[in-house]
Structure 1
Amino acid sequence: MTSSIPTREPDRRDASRLRALLRAIRNSNVCVLYQTCDLGYLWAENLPGIWADAWHVGVHDHEFMQDAMATELVAAKRSVLETGEQQSVEIAVPDGNQLRWFELSIDCDRDDAETIIGVVTTAVDVTELKRREQVLKTLLREVSHRSKNLLAIIQSIAMQTARFTGTVDDFLFKFRGRVQSLSYSQDLVTDSNWRGAQLHELVRSQMQKYIDVSDRRFTLSGDDPYIFPSAALHIGLAIHELIVNSTSYGALSNGEGTVAISGKLENIGTDRMSLRIKWDEKVPGALKEPDLNGRFGSAVLERIVPISVNGTSTYTLEHDGVTYSLDVPRSQFDL
């Protein structure tokens, strides 16, 4: 007959498992708290610093938490004790000038006879997640706002285009070109993380579809500030109108005309500081079609764009060229 020798291997495994679990908790943003059935705290593991000074064995929620928060927690814990069903609560705890957010999972502890003997609360710090959610909500609101602005611009373009075209084919041709102009400007704005677009880059993006920007007939000079997003879309649209008509009727429709675009900061250092964008087009001989309304949407250049940037514009059409000047206030650009 052989005698069996008791083994303590299960106890060793349990102890090892407990040490590993405690180490994992301490290395995480998770806190575990245990309360007896009278809701007095018995122990806590990985307690956040904001509670550490006030917490001690036997303390109750109302003694170290704000009243409203403690009332909510106590109600949830009593429900767990009465029903045995797990509860979830989210709380915001003041931490200096900020808030720390915790998601609490509250469950009951049972003995071998399945009798409820305590309450276990697992608190997960979700502050960073909350902050990311707030940032995302802010970005979504901004995207919604900008989308509505863009749709309003497109609607205005459609109305003005229809007003100055006589056929469906002519409308579609001009409308597509103007929407594509918006897309070029929008790409620059998006690439800059919504800061805007630099003036020279904005001009080149509109010109490159119609002319090589290194062409001797075209020059771009002067100051190069950042144009804020909404203004960039409208200024890009103005440049589009000017270049399309220049390649169709004006200086760039032949080998001799020239177009010079410049930016100049005026009244620097004063509250009247502004940016003057100038288009100066020279055509040897005469323009093919001197009638303004017949050539392109004057409303875009003389009304829609200036109003949209809170600025002013002047347009001069002569037999040998076109001059367009747009004054943009300081509120629409950054140096």
Structure 2
Amino acid sequence: MSPIPAQPDLRESSRLRSLLRAIRNGNVCVLYQTSDLAYVWAENLPDIWVDMWHVGLYDHELLEAPMAAQLVAAKRSVLETGEPQRIEIAVPHDDQFRWFELSIDCDRDDDNATIGVVTTAVDVTELKRREQVLKTLLREVSHRSKNLLAIIQSIAMQTARFTGTVDDFLLKFRGRVQSLSYSQDLVTDSNWRGAQFRELVRSQMQKYVDAADPRFTLSGDDPYIFPGAALHIGLALHELIVNSTSYGALSNGQGTIMISGKLENIGTDKMSLLIRWDEKVPGSLQGQDLNARFGSAVLERIVPTSVNGTSNYHIEPDGVSYSLDVPRSQFDL
């Protein structure tokens, strides 16, 4: 026995219910106006308009004057030309804006005469907010990239200034860029918050000495170093480590290195982080080339200036000492 065909009115009512359910589930609002732009009905009206809604409402009663004028102009164009229009409007709400994307089309009768305007409104507020966040992030990435490129350019120029051969330049330049890479990885992993002091030290030491090596001691406070300062402090540590592996404590089994971070003047406007490198080397360092030219430029001028701090760098017959005083503006507790 063949199924009984659905009655036309039943089929249309079920179709209408399905369409209305789809509109509500899709966060879509549909509004209808007569040819004189008076509202007749609305389906799934946004909450910001519910209290002011009534039949016979006009756009200037629903929206602020500039936005209403733009919307009315678009709808009159649809009525005159029959061509659909699409615009975005921003509606003030709770000290913010709600954004809607409007698709405007004309409604025609059986004789193809225009009798009204149908507007479909989609709330795109969250999309707009995500776009704004993305734009902000892209601007931040661009800013940080420019800063990083400036640091690399400075390293290249200073390295070239104090090296005599291409091979020597490449060896030193690669090491310094790798140092930046280690620090940058920490900054990126923290979602650009920065790098914790101890992690920063370990990341620079890992290529040259194991953290459990008895020659190496790391102690003291462990604040978060902000991104720009982390890159420069990492570079200073790299210079000290390279010199140590070539001529100092890490070049033999007898020397020791003590690195510490200590918060100074806690609770005052002069609060700072004092980073110390104390290296002891049996025998004498006199006459050794400790890369003091570029190394000292980084340690005594470039890094302190970049972090708005001060430094002291001393090479003694039995070791090396370096201290860097980093102001509160460059780290977080």
TM-score when normalising by structure 2: 0.96
Tell me whether 1:177 sits opposite 2:175 in the alignment: yes
- Give 1:232's match in structure 2, choosing from 213, 230, 233: 230
Match of 1:256 in 2: 254
Cα drift, residue 320 of structure 1:
1.1
**Residues 51-76 of structure 1 deviation map (CA, whole Å, 9 limit, x = unaligned):** 12222111111122111111001000
Change (3 A) 1:295 1:288: farther
Secondary structure of residue in 2 paired with 1:297 = helix
Q: Mean alpha-carbon deviation: is it higher for 109-118 or for 236-245?
A: 109-118
Instruction: Using the TM superposition, name which of 99-108 and 283-292 deviates more.
Output: 283-292
- Which residue pairs with 2:73 in the alignment? 75
In the TM superposition, 1:1-335 aligns within 5 A as 9-287=7-285, 289-291=287-289, 294=292, 296-335=294-333
Bigger shift: residues 61-70 or 174-183: 61-70
Equivalent AA in structure 2 for residue 170 of structure 1? D
Contact 1:286–1:320, Cα closer than 8 Å, also in 2: yes
List alignment gaps of at least 5 residues for structure 1: 1-5
Q: For residue 276 of structure 1, what is the amino acid of its counterpart? A: L
Which segments of 5 or more consecutive residues in structure 2 lack a partner in the other structure? none
CA distance in 1, matches of 2:17, 2:203: 63
Report the Cα distance in structure 2 between the residues aligned to 1:293 and 1:166, rounded to whole angstroms: 13
User: Is the 2:219–2:259 contact (alpha carbons within 8 Å) kept by the matching residues of 1?
Assistant: yes
Q: Aligned residues, how many?
A: 330
CA apart distance, 1:281: 0.6
- Counterparts of 1:237 and 1:7, CA distance in 2: 81
Q: Percent identity?
A: 82
Whether contact under 8 Å (1:249, 1:289) holds in the other structure is no
- Separation in structure 1 between the aligned mates of residue 164 and residue 225 of structure 2, nearest angstrom: 34
What CA deviation, in whole Å up to 9, does each residue of 1:116-149 have, x standing for no partner?
1110000000000011111111101100110000
Q: Distance in 1 between matches of 2:232 and 2:154?
A: 11
Q: Is the 8 A contact 2:286 2:317 kept in 1?
A: no
> Do 1:182 and 1:233's aligned partners in 2 also have CA atoms closer than 8 Å?
yes
CA contact (8 A) 1:36 1:42 kept: yes
CA distance in 2, matches of 1:104, 1:273: 55
Structure 1 pair 294–198 and aligned structure 2 pair: CA distance change class (3 A): closer
CA contact (8 A) 2:247 2:290 kept: no
Q: Answer whether contact 1:250 1:288 (CA < 8 A) is retained.
A: no
Partners in 1 of 2:17 and 2:277 — Cα distance? 76
Within 1, Cα distance between the matches of 2:60 and 2:232?
Answer: 59
- TM-score, normalised relative to structure 1: 0.96
Change in CA separation of 1:294 and 1:237 when aligned onto 2, cut-off 3 Å: closer
SS of equivalent to 2:210: coil
Aligned pair in 2 of structure 1 residues 289, 79: CA closer, same or farther (>3 Å)?
A: farther
Amino acid at match of 2:18: A
Give the distance between the partners of 2:263 and 2:6, measured in 1 at CA: 85
Q: Is the 8 A contact 1:290 1:319 kept in 2?
A: no
